[in-house]
A and B are shown apart, each in its own frame.
Chain A
Amino acid sequence: MTEASAIAIELGQAFPSVPACEARGESGLRLGKLRRGARGRVIGIAVASAHTRNAVDPHELERRLLEMGFVEGARFEILHEGPVRRDPIAVRLDETRVALRRREAHALIVEIDTDSPTA
C-alpha cells in the first residue's frame, strides 16, 4: 500500500460521507462501469434500480455488499477483470480482496481519485 493511499484510507474513515451520497443520489459513478486500475472510494449503495434479475431482494443484496466491506467510505481499486467480457472484477477493498460481477458492482456508487485512470 502506498503512503498516499494509506492517508486516503484515513480520510475515508474520518468522513463516511453519507451526505455526499445523498447529494449524488442515483446519478453517481458506478463501480460496475469502471475499468482495471480505477481507484477511489465507495460513497453509496443504490440497489433498488440495478437489480431486477437477482435471486435476492435489494435489501438482502445491500446487506451482503455491506458485509463484504462495501461500506460508504471504503477505499477500492479494481485489480483484475475476468477473461470473458471483463466480468467479474477483482477489487481491493481496504485490506481485503473481493470478486464480484459487474451487475452487482453496478449497485455501488463511487467517487474516483483525481489521479486515477478514468472510466
Chain B
Amino acid sequence: MSDVVHPNPLIALVGNPNSGKTALFNALTGARAKVANYPGVTVEKKIGQVTTPAGRRAAIVDLPGTYSLRARSPDEEVTRDFVLGRLKGEAPPDVIVCVADATNLRMMLRLLLELKQVGRPVVLALNMFDIAERQGIRIDLEGLTQELGVPIVTTVAVRKRGLANVLAEVDRLIGAHAGEPSWHEPSADEIRAAHRDAGRIHKLYVKPPLRPDSWTGRLDGVLLHPVAGTLILLAILFLMFQAVFSWATPLMNLIDAGFSGLGQAIMATLPPGLLRSFLVDGLISGVGSVVVFLPQILILFFFIILLEDFGYMARAAFLMDKVMGAAGLHGRSFIPLLSSFACAIPGIMAARVIDNKRDRFATILAAPLTTCSARIPVYTLIISAFIPNRVVWGFANLQGLVMFGLYSAGIIGALTVAFVIRRIFWRGASEPFLIELPAYKVPDPMNLLNGLLLRAKIFLRRAGTIILSAMVVVWFLSSFPAAPAGASGPAINYSIAGMLGHFIAPLLAPIGFSWQMTLALIPGMAAREVAVGVLGTVYAIGGGHGGTLANVLAGQWSVASALSFLAWYVFAPQCMSTLGVVKRETNSWRWPIIMFCYMLALAYAASFAVYHIAAALGAG
C-alpha cells in the first residue's frame, strides 16, 4: 500500500455505539453523505467526501458501531470485514479513525487494542471532549499516546471542533507502516487479558471525573421506574402517534394538492389518450399516492432520531423487553415494530439492529401486521361509510373505537405471529438481551436534521424507483386492453386487472367481496391506499350516483362485507414494496414468499370469520 501516492485515500470511522461517530461523520462531510448498500449484504453504507489539509480528496465511510471486531450482527460483520479489507468489492481503508466517547473510554480502549492488530494506521479521536472537561475527567493525552502508540486528537463533533486536526493526522498517516495484520477472533481469556490491559491503561492515564454526570442517574430514576417509567413510555408513544396523524395532515394535503394540480395541468395541456392516461393515472397519481406519506415518515423519524440521540431508545428496549420477550422477541425488536406504524419498510430496515438472525427474521415477518399509515385512508373511508358517528358508553366515539380496534388487531396479530414463529417453528433459542444504557445527551439539532434529510432522500429514491415501476405495471394492467367502443361501465372492467378481478371474485365471494372490491385489491398491491382511488373510479363511472364515495359504498355494500374488507386490510399482504424490501433485507425470495402466503391465509381466515359472524348477527 505504501508505494502508492494515495490521491484519494479511504478513511474508515470505527467506534462503539453512542460514541458520537455519526455526529463526527456528519461534521466532517456536511450533508453530502451518500447512502448505498454494500454488495451482497443489506447494510447501509454511508460514504462522504472530505478534503484534507494536504489537499487530498478523501472518501470517508461511517461504519456501523461495534464493541469489538468479533462481529455478532450483519452490521458488525460489515465493520469487521471492511477494516480487515475482506469485503468483496471494497478497498481496505488507508486510515482508521477510531471514535471514542471521551467520558466513557474504558470500553473503547479494548476496541482500540483490537484495531491496532488490523495492520492499518489508526488515529484515536476523543469525541465529546467538552463534556469530559466539564465533568472534570483528566486525561493524560501525552501518556496515552505513548502507551497506545497511536496519535490522539480531541474533538467536539457537534461544535465542529478538532475536525482539521483529525484530517491532519490522517494526512500524516497515509501510507505509514502499521505493522503486520495479526487480528484473529479473541478467545474468552484473550478478552479478559485485553480488559485487564485496557483497565490498567485507563487507570494510569485517565483520572475519574471530579463532577460526574449525575443527570443520567437522576433521569433513570424516573424513566426506568417500574410505574412512572412505563407511563412515560406510553405517553411518549401517544404523543408520537398524535404527531404522526395530526401534525402531518396539513403537509400531506399540500403534497396531495401539488400532485393533483400537476395532474390537472397535464390534463389541460395534453389531448386525451394513452400518454395522458399514463402520465396522470400512472405516474403522477401513483407516485403522488406514495410521496404523500413523506411528512408522516419524517415526523416518525424525527421522534426516533431524537429519542435515539437523547439515549432513550435503550431505555425503551429495557422497559419493553419483557413484553417483547413474551412474544419470543428481543427488547430491540420494539423499535422496528414501532417504526412499522408509519410504514413497514423503514421498520423492516430498522430490524438490522437485531443481532440474532432468527429474532431479526421473526421481527421482519411480523412488522407488516402493525397498522401502517397507508391503511389509514382505507380504514377512514370504510369507517365513515358504515360505522355510525355516535357516542357509546358515555364517552367513546364509536368510529374512533373501531379505529382503535383495528390498530389493536394489528398489534396483537404482529405479536402473535412473532410468538408462533419463535415458540413453535424456532423453538428454544433466544438471544441474550445485553445492551449498554448510554449516558443521556442533549440531541444535536444538526445531527437530527442530517438524519432526516438522509431518510427523506432514501424514501424519495425508493418512491422514484421501485414504487414508480410498480405503479407503471399496475397502470398497464388496469389500462390494457382498452374498453371497446360504446362499452358501458368503467374501462378498468375490460382491462387485464378487471379480468383478474372477475376471475378471482368467486374465490373471494365466500368472504363477502363483490367483484368491484376484488378488483380494487389488484391495483392496491402497489400501495394499500390505491384501493381507495380504484373504488372511486369503479363506482363513479360504474354507478353514476352522485355524492361522496362513502355514501355510494354505504348504498352498495352490506355492513358484513365492509367489516370483512376491514379485516382483510388488517392482515393482507397488500404491498409489493414491503415484499421487495423483505427480499432485499433477507437476500432470498423465500421470506417474502412465506410472508405473502401467511398474510394471505390470515387475511382470508379473518375476513371469512368476520363476514359470517356479522351476517349471522343480521348485518348481511
Contact = CB atoms under 8 A, between A and B. Distances in A.
Contact of A82 (B216, B217, B318): B318
A55 B436 contact: no
Contacts of A55: 356, 358-359, 429-432
B220 A64 contact: no
Given A88-B321, A94-B106, A101 B433 contact: yes
A66 B192 contact: yes
Contact of A100 (B203, B208, B224, B434): B434
Contact of A98 (B319, B321, B428, B434): B434
Interface in B184-241: 186-188, 191-192, 195-196, 199-200, 203, 208, 212, 216-217, 220, 224-227, 229-230
A53 B195 contact: no
B436 A68 contact: yes
A1 interface: yes
Nearest to B16: A96
A100 B433 contact: yes
Contacts of B619: none
A68 B437 contact: no
Contacts of A95: 104, 106, 208
A59 B188 contact: yes
Given A56-B432, A72-B192, A104-B432, A67 B321 contact: no
Contacts of A79: 217, 220, 224
Contacts of A96: 104, 106-107, 436
A83 B208 CA distance: 32
Closest 9 CB pairs of A and B: A84-B322, A55-B429, A97-B437, A83-B226, A80-B224, A66-B191, A71-B195, A99-B318, A104-B432
A13 B203 contact: yes
Contacts of A81: 226
B330 to A, nearest CB: 10
Contacts of B67: 67-68
24 contacts: A10-B203, A13-B203, A55-B431, A56-B432, A59-B188, A63-B70, A67-B67, A67-B110, A68-B434, A71-B192, A80-B220, A80-B224, A82-B322, A83-B319, A85-B322, A87-B322, A88-B322, A90-B220, A90-B318, A90-B437, A96-B104, A97-B436, A98-B437, A99-B437
Contacts, number: 129
Contact of A54 (B106, B192, B430): B430
Interface string A20-34: 000000000000000
A55 to B, nearest CB: 4
B314 interface: yes
B72 interface: yes
Interface string B418-430: 0000000000111
Contacts of B227: 83
Contacts of B70: 63, 67
Contacts of B203: 10, 13
A8 interface: no
A40 B600 CA distance: 54
Given A67-B68, A71-B195, A98-B435, A1 B430 contact: no
Given A54-B430, A94-B106, 19 more contacts: A53-B428, A55-B359, A63-B191, A66-B191, A67-B67, A72-B192, A80-B225, A85-B322, A88-B318, A88-B322, A88-B331, A90-B220, A96-B436, A97-B437, A99-B321, A99-B436, A101-B321, A104-B433, A104-B434
B323 interface: yes
Contacts of A85: 322
A35 B338 CA distance: 31
Contacts of B224: 79-80, 90
Interface residues of B, number: 53
B321 A82 contact: yes
Contacts of A90: 220, 224, 318, 437
A37 interface: no
Contacts of B230: 83
A82 B195 contact: no
A84 B437 contact: no
A16 B203 CA distance: 14
Interface in A57-116: 59, 61-69, 71-72, 79-85, 87-88, 90, 94-101, 103-104
A62 B188 contact: yes
A20 to B, nearest CB: 15
B432 A100 contact: yes
A6 to B, nearest CB: 6
A10 B67 CA distance: 24
A69 B105 CA distance: 12
Contacts of B217: 79
Contacts of B187: 63
Contacts of B195: 66, 69, 71
B196 to A, nearest CB: 7
